[in-house]
Chain A
Amino acid sequence: MPAPSAPIAPRALILRAPGTNCDHETAHAFEAAGAIAERVHINRLIENPALAARYQILCFPGGFSYGDDIAAGKILANRLQHHLADLVQEFALGGRDSLVLGICNGMQVMMRLGILTRGVTADGDETVDDSGPMGDDPHVPATLTWNQHGRYEARWVHLAVDPRTPCVFLKGIRRMYLPIAHAEGNFVAASADMLDTLAARGRLAVRYCGEDDSEPLISEEPLEFPLNPNGAMANVAGVCDPSGRVFGMMPHPERFIDPTQHPFWTRMEQPADEGEGMAIFRNAVGYFA
């Protein structure tokens, strides 16, 4: 029997900027899932935006881009807006069949750009106007602000995927256990109506949840710390655009690729074959199969 021809591996652009610091392990995770991952400095793209044409996946990795000075992710978003708006537009707004993933600082950047919350107004109305998010002066109707307790926090959290979500990255995943490490991860929407609209469309794609199934996995009421580690409205840990191809999350899936990254793997008689974060990268690669 002839061997099935291997699907062509998608190429992932891991965007690097001053202060990015999760680019290596994120590239490693994409490669473990079968993608070809390349770490590219933002200055290379500004010099030559056409470089991006060879990639199917755009990834904003974690870190402290530009020190998170002013606000987390703000300056990188500002730079993208003023120098690479077309490029982001093309990946994010369906110029072609592509995926965008932001992790932690990457999600913060995407929130500041408005590409995660696009299509919904501050009042919760849905719009089809796609020019807004990457405009010169985006009025982003939601934000990631300081953690409720006012500190940077590193800890593992339980996550549930909203079954309604169109998110490509979360296909087939029900729940996950992953680490967070951030100071500004507290999701705040401008209004309850806006939150409702996003929720109804499954765009509040991944939520902090309880450690077992005794409570509903998806809860609009904020859970207590530390289950909800930052006080996010509706326990939001990740948000996607209407298409589900553009997704940002605060937890770090690239930090749970190997079973020994689990915080108490030494208790397990038989640790899993791979970490729970792998599924997200496999979904990304699988999308292009």
Chain B
Amino acid sequence: MPLWQIDIYPADGFIDREGQRVAEQIRELGLGDEIEVDFSRGFLVEGDLQTAAVERMAESLLSDRVTERVVVAMTGDESLAEPPGDNPTLVHVLPKPGVMDPVAQSAEAAARDAGWPVAAIRTLRKYWLPELSEDRLAAICRRALSNDSVEQVVVGPLELTQLRFDGRYEFSLVVVPIRELDDEGLARLSKEGQLYLTLVEMQTIRDHFRSLDRDPTDIELETIAQTWSEHCSHKTLAGRIHYRGPSPDGRPGGDERRYANMLKETIFAATQHLRASAGEDDRCVSVFKDNAGVVRFDDAYHVCFKVETHNHPSALEPYGGANTGLGGVIRDPMGTGLGAKPVCNTDVFCFAPPDTPVDSLPPGVLHPRRVINGVVAGVRDYGNRMGIPTVNGAIYFDPRYLGNPLVYCGNVAMLPVGMEDKQVEEGDLIVALGGRTGRDGIHGATFSSAELTSESESLSGGAVQIGNAITEKMVLDVLLQARDRKLYNAVTDCGAGGFSSAVGEMGEELGAEVWLEKCPLKYEGLSYTEIWISEAQERMVLAVPPEKWQSLRELCESEGVEAAAIGRFVGTGNLTLTYHGHHVGELAMSYLHDGRPPVVRDAVYEPPEFVPLDPPKLELESANQILADILGSLNVASKHWVIRQYDHEVQGGSVVKPLVGPRCDGPGDAAVVRPLLDSRRGLVISCGMNPHFGDFDTYHMAASAIDEAVRNAVAVGADPATIAILDNFCWGYTDRPETLGSLVRAAIACQDVAIGLGTPFISGKDSLNNEFSYLDESGTKRSISIPPSLLISAIGQMDDIGTAVTMDLKSAGNAIYLVGDTHEELGGSHYSLVTDQPGGQVPRVNISLARCTFTAMHQTIQRRLVRSVHDLSEGGLAAAAAEMAMAGRLGISLDVSELDAAGDPLSDAAKLFAESNSRFLVEVAPDRQAEFVETLHQANVPVRAIGQVDSSDRVRISIADKQFIDQEIETLLRRWKNPLNW
């Protein structure tokens, strides 16, 4: 069958944007300063078509006649190898066979729709480069043009003659002779089979099959490995842990705890405690059991919230990893209760600094700039296409994220009251809904539980995927209709572990039989095991009563969504797997879910020795410089380049946007969203995180993160009594007792602070073993562990969105108050970061004062006593004041000499830059000042009048008579906006 190629170039007079972008990337990566690139996008079209038809297809369907020109020929034709300009070197980049290519899929459907008999279409990209040495060309191809985990590169003419590959699969049952293996053999099987199970687990499995008097099939072994993986079972944190840490007064080993299930006895226990004491006022609906946490919203709706990470895939293929990370977390609320409707997304990333020298990269590591570009684009393309606004997020930078960038994606969704429970019934059909199953994502669950190495790309490329957001949007559209017509009894998402995990979870109580040949496949050639464990995206699994199946199938067909009955829930207590009538697997559900030997771990925490930080004396010039440096530091700098690529207003519920103020460029504290267009009730979404504090003490890091998430939400108007939070632990190698110890200590803080603030955790997730190991030039094994990274995400509510406030200064003449106490807490602060001073006291949380502060602040907001509120975090008071002035384009003038009333005298540096928790800067109009102060006094919350808003163009801060900060707003704005203005 003829194979045609269509190259599409910019027409004369139009810019070659992709060519310029790639040239820029080559320059940024240090691969060549003067390399110009010509680009064409294109399609390979296989089908019985005449030249004229292909030309028409190219012109009327695939290209734009005004801005583009096309070259059409059979592949291999000379015309395709003719350079468009002076660059003679031709590089083709194509998605590897089997990798999701949504554009090709759509083009195929559209071409057939228009009546052209195409058999297959694939996309390709062509880059024309100058003559280059072989090494340089290879480096450019690998680092700038392609990603070899999902794409293939062809230099020179493309000699392809067909697109379709006949990959027939011949059934043969694979039995794994595990009964005879010794420890060494077990370890080898675990590693080479990418099971990533521990020796004890492998021994348990061997002994289990010895007792059954048979060997397992490959699919049985894989099923056990998926179910027992860290990713699916959270066996470390939910396991037995013996913890020893410092007592509250700092005595080493003074705090010894033994947990049978650490998470359950800390974070979950805090929620149980709060729910019990709340009684009638308990707002939690479903916590730590479904795919997302669920709390009450109003009489008609609950709200669900879930945050997941997708770190390992994003390290290898940033675009696909982040893309499917967001796609995956959106399916969590869709699979919560009987299915919730997503209303907004959140995204938090941790990267290495973008200016990391290229030649310092360990082997196998992508440059941070590429990671950042890819991750942002991946999240953008999934969220925007799904029509879910991305309303909140943050980005943190630290060199230790070089081999392990972190990608946290969250989703908030609305669930009708009464739909929070689901119950699989015996006899229900197992229905797979959505995307087809392919060879993508094999071993994602087990892979994500392992440490990354420089070999990971070649070992686990199959774990990397690209998403197709429109497929998921179509699934969502029919799912909500099916839900409202009560066409199914239960739903869950297909995530890590694929059908294996989804069916295994849903059938845990009853049992299930699965007919693997019934699963719709993207292409031929998958073995029965691959079908079972594939993590192909955009799939949901439903339990459908047989009498509803016809209606469901018709509904799906009516919107072009694929649905297939692939099995049945049966009351056998067993998981039975068949393939074309062959019996390929039989496992007791009880063994699958309860047979895993408990993980027993030691955890030790010893805080690093206290190193005092004596700040050098500040002068006007040095303080000015420090403030500018803080605003220009990557963590604090404006993230507008990212934010503006996200649609944050689709669905029409946007109330407080990520960028606020008259120029729409101030850094808002939290997002406010109105999820129901006919209601005034609002949702508030915020987050808190500070990996730098973890280097001092993970207890205070966790406490500070919770305080930050809650105070951000309170700052825009959330009622603190409604706030619920999520935990996401991303940690290093937790087999090391001290690494696990630092995590347990953080979990203890979560327990203490959640109870103290009355703020329940409703869901969480962990990602462990975030270490990157490689051999350096001398052949020594090195590893980089990420810093302890706890993200706290908060969801709050407000009765009336009309009471929301923002952080931009509103009018000259209003007074500025500092709420909360300041301490000599410069440890881990941005002051210490930009001045390169180690040591100091890390910020702590006075929990009872924090609670009073949040409650009282909320009262002042509700009574409309305040004009603007901003939380104090990175950079402390000076940075917060500058941000408020920049956002409002109004001057501010403060005197912070009276801050040390809390006890010990404060250094000037602490007054300006300490990052003490539970503090707000508040702008109050003259006629409200008395009532504002009185409200806080009554609650015993410290409040100090420290200055006013003025109509100048400057930020000024003095201590008594001495001026420390005096800078033009415009100057500070430039420093703040430039670093990430890509």
Interface of A toward B, CB cutoff 8 Å: 16, 18-22, 24-25, 28-29, 41, 43-44, 62-64, 66-71, 74-75, 78-79, 81-83, 137-143, 145-146, 150-156, 179, 181, 188-190, 252, 254-255, 257-258, 260-261, 263-264, 266-267
Contacts and interface: CB of A to CB of B under 8 A. Distances in A.
Interface stretch (B77-85, B639-647, B762-770): B639-647
Contact of A266 (B645, B659, B660): B660
Does more than half of chain A's interface fall in helix, strand or loop, or is it mixed? mixed
B734 to A, nearest CB: 38
A143 B649 contact: no
| Of A62, A70, A150, most B-chain CB atoms within 10 Å | A70
Interface in B815-830: none
B677 A79 contact: no
B470 A66 contact: yes
A150 B810 CA distance: 35
24 contacts: A18-B474, A19-B469, A19-B474, A24-B652, A28-B677, A62-B650, A64-B470, A67-B385, A67-B469, A69-B102, A69-B103, A69-B470, A70-B103, A82-B113, A138-B60, A150-B21, A154-B643, A155-B644, A181-B649, A254-B652, A260-B655, A260-B804, A264-B808, A267-B806
Contacts of A141: 66
B664 A19 contact: no
A72 B422 CA distance: 39
Contacts of A66: 106, 109-110, 470
B651 A25 contact: yes
A70 B61 contact: yes
Nearest to A21: B387
Nearest to A259: B802
Interface in B675-701: 677
B660 A154 contact: no
A75 B801 CA distance: 39
Contact of B662 (A25, A254, A258, A264): A264
Nearest to A231: B15
B50 interface: no
B106 A64 contact: no
Contact of B110 (A75, A143, A257, A264): A75
Contact of B559 (A43, A83, A252): A43
A19 B66 contact: no
B651 A70 contact: no
Contacts of B660: 263-264, 266
A69 B106 contact: yes
Interface residues of B, number: 63
B851 to A, nearest CB: 26
A78 B384 contact: no
Interface string B83-113: 0000000000000000000110111011001
A125 B468 CA distance: 43
Given A67-B470, A261-B649, A143 B560 contact: no
Contacts of B115: 82
B471 to A, nearest CB: 8
Contacts of B802: 260
B735 interface: no
Contacts of A146: 17
Contacts of B644: 151, 153-155
B656 interface: yes
Contacts of B783: none
Nearest to B103: A69
**Cβ-closest 6 pairs across A and B:** A21-B387, A25-B652, A69-B106, A67-B470, A143-B66, A69-B103
A154 B64 CA distance: 24
B558 interface: yes
B604 to A, nearest CB: 48
A140 B65 contact: yes
Contacts of A62: 650
Interface string B14-32: 1001000100000000000
B56 interface: yes
Nearest to A23: B387
B81 to A, nearest CB: 25
B403 to A, nearest CB: 28
Contacts of A43: 558-560
B339 interface: no
A96 B70 CA distance: 39
Nearest to B20: A150
A267 B106 contact: no
Nearest to B66: A143
Nearest to A152: B645
B674 interface: yes
A18 B644 CA distance: 24
Contacts of A266: 656, 660, 804-806, 808
Given A19-B385, A150-B17, A188-B67, A25 B654 contact: no
A156 B64 CA distance: 28
Contacts of B648: 154
B661 A75 contact: no
B473 interface: yes
Contact of A261 (B60, B105, B109, B655): B655
B114 interface: yes
Given A43-B560, A143-B66, A145-B66, A137 B647 contact: no
Given A67-B470, A78-B113, A267-B662, 12 more contacts: A21-B386, A25-B677, A43-B558, A70-B62, A70-B103, A70-B107, A140-B66, A145-B66, A153-B644, A181-B649, A258-B652, A263-B660
Given A28-B677, A260-B655, A260-B674, A143 B645 contact: no
A75 B651 CA distance: 23
Nearest to A16: B477
Nearest to A261: B654
A13 B552 CA distance: 25
A94 B66 CA distance: 27
A260 B801 contact: yes
Contacts of A190: 66
B8 to A, nearest CB: 10
A25 B559 CA distance: 21
A121 to B, nearest CB: 13
A24 B470 contact: no
| Of A18, A156, A190, A252, most B-chain CB atoms within 10 Å | A18
Nearest to A27: B677
Interface string B370-387: 000000000010001111
B657 interface: yes
Nearest to B561: A18
Contacts of B14: 145
B801 A21 contact: no
Contacts of A263: 657, 659-660, 664
B21 A181 contact: no
A142 B66 contact: yes
Contacts of B473: 18-19, 21
A62 B14 CA distance: 27
B664 A264 contact: yes
Given A82-B114, A266-B806, A267-B808, A156 B674 contact: no
Contacts of B558: 41, 43-44
Contacts of A78: 61, 110, 113-114
